Structure 1
Amino acid sequence: MVMRNSANERPARRAAIGRVTLHDEVAARLRSMIVEGELSPGARIPESQLCEAFGVSRTPLREALKVLASEGLVELLHSRGAIVKRMCVQEVADIFELMAGVEYMTGQLVCQRATAEEVEELQDLHARLLDFHRRGRRSDYFRTNQKIHRRIAEVSGNRVLAEMQADFSGKIRRARYMANLQQARWDESVQEHEAFMEALAQRDGDLMGQRLRDHMRHTGDVVIRALREEGGA
């Protein structure tokens, strides 16, 4: 499957994109389509269909593809367009392993350095996360989940750590979305969020670090198992 529309159907026309942040907006839409499985691993990017659907020319689309290639989501083919990049099981496993250690340090630092206002901001995001889970709004949940982890890293006060978290999170974004497709893991993930947010409220850095690390490990275990069952390389 390439897109949910059949080969004989015209793609549903989406709202035209404004010109101010054109290729960034195109990249954001394409990123969501890839992460959420609307564009399948190994599938060719249907440039003409997407240009029509988004109401843009090929130039911003191709600029967006370069951005997504840098994130490891697409593979650019010389003079032959682009395809959705297949996930390498070992690379994904290596990134999750590294991210577990990063999350532990992040938990320690954020409990030491976050202001009361920043803790409140994270609690508000967490409340939204719980609401999206209750209502079964998986895509909104996932975006909020990503924002929570990104903000925790930013609030840690270590810019290098935050940049590392953003870089590696981008590389495993699609893999992390896969984990929440399993209802049991989705429910478990929410409980893990509750647990590390409790540790943050207590300003217990060691406990928050441990819970963030375990959360990342559990997600990685689910993803790696699913990829191997699918016969991933």
Structure 2
Amino acid sequence: MSINKIKSVGRQPLNVVVYEHIKTAIIEGDIEPGTRLTETKVSEQMNVSTTPVREAFRRLASEGLVKIIPWRGAIVQEFTDTEITEVYQCRESLEMLAVELATEQIDAEGIRKLYALVEQSNETTDFTKYVDINSEIHNTLLHYANNRTLNNLLSQLNDVIYHNRNLSSYSDVRRAEIHEEHLQIVSSIEKRDKTAASEAMRIHVNNGFEYIKARLTKNEQPKIQKPDSV
């Protein structure tokens, strides 16, 4: 009798477990923005060595969730209403330009890649992988926009953008909305409809902005602009 179909028990490395626990605590609000985290105190609390904690801090910093201060540890990121508003004002214009340029230059392979990424983001149950996939969707558009200055400008907004993608990844409702918004963007690109693609991106960015405002202030979920059906 074969045992090949018996699934193995997943065992995550300690550094991944530590990272996931800290990340979840930050996103769910158990650790408030502005809180100072030190390797020593966190390792004592979690009953682990400082090494996996240090690795977790680095990963969280790359995702915009903490800011590492030399010799002081990590500070849980907090952004003012003004900072978030200004970032999204810039992001809206830059992302709309990116999708317009990409629509003009993308090839069939690029469109297939975008559809595949959208499907992968809809299927994954891993929060970190979800953020990575959604970042890759926008990075693919930037690649086909083929504008180095535009890429550099958007990279300056990454702390807020990555931070907010992580917050959104924990909401089933927002994830479903993002899936539909991405489908609308890619469908418009496939049709070479630059105007529709730009408008779909505007709605996507603004819906993200409204969600983050509500999420950070713990208000009721805002009304979402619904794109036309694909």
TM-score (norm 2): 0.70
Detail structure 1 runs of 4+ shifted over 6 Å in the superposition. none
Residues 1-233 of structure 1: pairs in structure 2 closer than 5 A: 14=14, 33=23, 36=27, 40-48=32-40, 49=43, 52=49, 54=51, 64=58, 68=61, 73-74=66-67, 76=69, 79-132=71-124, 136-229=125-218
Paired residue for 2:8? none
- TM-superposed deviation, 1:105: 0.7
Q: Whole-Å Cα distance in 1 between the matches of residues 14 and 52 of structure 2?
A: 8
- 2:118–2:179 CA contact under 8 A, matched in 1: no
For structure 2, the 5+ residue unaligned runs are: 1-11, 220-230
- SS at 1:172 equivalent: helix
- SS at 1:41 equivalent: coil
- 1:13–1:54 CA contact under 8 A, matched in 2: no
- 1:150–1:166 CA contact under 8 A, matched in 2: no
For structure 1, the 5+ residue unaligned runs are: 1-11, 17-28
Paired residue for 2:228? none
Q: Deviations over 1:167-189 (max 9, x none)?
A: 31332322232234333222212
CA RMSD of aligned residues (A): 3.5
Q: 1:206 to 1:185 in 2, by over 3 A?
A: same
TM-score (norm 1): 0.70
Q: Deviations over 1:137-162 (max 9, x none)?
A: 44322221111112211221111112
Q: 1:55 to 1:180 in 2, by over 3 A?
A: closer
Question: Looking at both structures, which has the greater relative contact order when contacts are Cα pairs under 8 Å and sequence separation is at least 6?
Answer: 1
Q: Whole-Å Cα distance in 2 between the matches of residues 139 and 174 of structure 1?
A: 12
Q: Identity, % of aligned pairs? A: 18
Equivalences, count: 199
